[in-house]
Amino acid sequence: MSFFTELAQQYIDGEWRSGSGSWDIIDFNPYDGEKLASIPVATAAEVDQAYRAAERAQEAWAATNPYARRLVFERALRIIEDREQEITETIIAELGGTHLKAAFELHLAKEFLREAVQLSLRPEGRILPSPVDGKENRVYRLPVGVVGVISPFNFPFLLSIKSVAPALALGNAVVLKPHQNTPICGGSLVAKVFEDAGLPAGLLNVVITDIAEIGDALLEHPVPKAISFTGSDKVGRHVATVCAANFKRAILELGGNSALIVLEDADIDYAVDAAVFSRFVHQGQVCMAANRVLVDRKVEKEFTEKFVAKVKTLKVGDPKDPGTHIGPLINSTQADAVTALVDQTVEAGATALLHGSSEGNLVRPSVLTGLEADSPVLQQEIFGPVALIVPFDGEDEAVRIANDTPYGLSGAVHTGDIERGVRIAQRINTGMIHINDSTVHDEPIVPFGGEKHSGSGRLNGESMIEAFTTQKWISVQHGRSQFPF
């Protein structure tokens, strides 16, 4: 894989260079354990250099005609299209993503770049009336300046581009820190795409590092005015706290514990297909995944039998095999945690309709039911191939169970009556919910984000303008004001 040798470096102020830390971040293939790259870690000094480079480059970029800015994103899109096979192979190797997952990620990455092309031209100023005679109120929409982006390991290429491209399109500069398990897909590959697309030096910087080396330097640094973080709610809480203490804007896209609700009038076969995809896509390592499948008792038996039968058909194994549905989890820590969680839940009294075994980072699917209402597993995000089937009696109980979680990201309702589904969806405390579909969706122009512990702020479409720009009021007094003294 050429990317793993060519791009195993930091990217600061338009230069590819080694980090100066005393240890290396090792990039492993999660399926076979192959060492893909060894990258000397960036220090706090390099974080400072990256932010200072961004600060120097940003003013001229903001002043660049937005019609010229958008050409960079058009070229970046073409580069991804031209290198799609290489990028697919890199996603499979670094993430353990299947061919299906890689195609899904690349499709969305291209869609977000297409939106970034348009976003360059979207900000608008306003002239507002004043109660003062002769006064003109102008409200300008301006870039925030420099944005720090911290991306996760599950969809690193997409979720880096999702914040990086809009921030740049709106006239900002960016410092990007990818997850240490996906430094290439989430970091240096993104930098390479934009470098080759002609983005001026300094506007996008990538620091491959870890909090063990830099602490909170990325968050506390005085240059960035906004931090876009995607990851766990535990880390998100810390990011929010540090940002608040330093008067920075925090856009937080955090975890989920989504419920897919199957009502008694649903198309059962279709609901099964949607539920299996919603739970097991990318091994369940998706914030929008349907952790909990809530089924009306009137159709519980039929649904459960068909659900288990379909899960049994999923192929677990080498993600390079186009026929594989479920590849490895990202690392052994995650694989061990998911395996232990299933064992503990069964020991506590749950019924395992499927009890998946594990081998290395491969964890086979589990389907659990018979859970007590206060079972801890119902309250947490499970980043692995584990489905929980929970029966309910009637709409009110379905809504109560769906809302009985600290999270509120996504969800789905399956029913033969669309408006009934919408009424139920309106009662569920999530940022997003889908009628007769999966829980896993993202589109460039709809507001993406969650409630409760699932985050704050929104991304996509007009929400990007709110996230990465600020408003400035300039008043003009025509004639003379009258002052009281």
Q: How far apart are CA 358 and CA 368, in angstroms?
A: 16
In Å, the largest CA–CA distance within the chain is 83
Closest CA to 205 of 196, 216, 194, 219: 194
Contact 370, 353 (CB under 8 A): no
**How far is Cα of residue 63 from the mean position of the Cα atoms in its chain?**
30
Name which of 365, 371, 337 is nearest 351 in CA terms. 371
Does residue 243 have an active-site annotation?
A: no
**Phi-psi region for residue 472, left (φ > 0), alpha (ψ -120 to 50) or beta?**
beta
Whole-number Å distance between alpha carbons of 205 and 218: 12
CA–CA distance, 247 with 257 (Å, rounded to integer): 30
Q: Which of 62, 96, 266, 274 is nearest to 169 (CA)?
A: 62
- Selecting among 287, 300, 381, 395, the annotated active-site residue is 287
Compute and round to an integer the Cα radius of gyration of the chain: 24
The distance of Cα 357 from the centroid of its chain, to the nearest Å, equals 28
- The single-letter code of the amino acid at 5 is T
d(CA 147, CA 171): 10
The first and second tokens of residue 215, run together, are: 């602490």
Q: Pick the catalytic residue from 213, 253, 381, 395.
A: 253
3-class secondary structure, 10: strand
Let me know the angle formed at the C-alpha of 213 by 208 and 218, rounded to the nearest 5 degrees: 65
Helix axes 84-95, 99-119, angle to 10 degrees: 120
For residues 410 and 215, what is the distance between their CA atoms, to the nearest angstrom?
32
Pick from 143, 364, 379: nearest CA to 255:
379
Structure tokens at 19: 């980090």
253 given a catalytic annotation: yes
Query: Which residue, 249, 245, 238, is CA-closest to 148?
Result: 249
Three-state secondary-structure class, residue 2: helix
Catalytic residue numbers read 253, 287
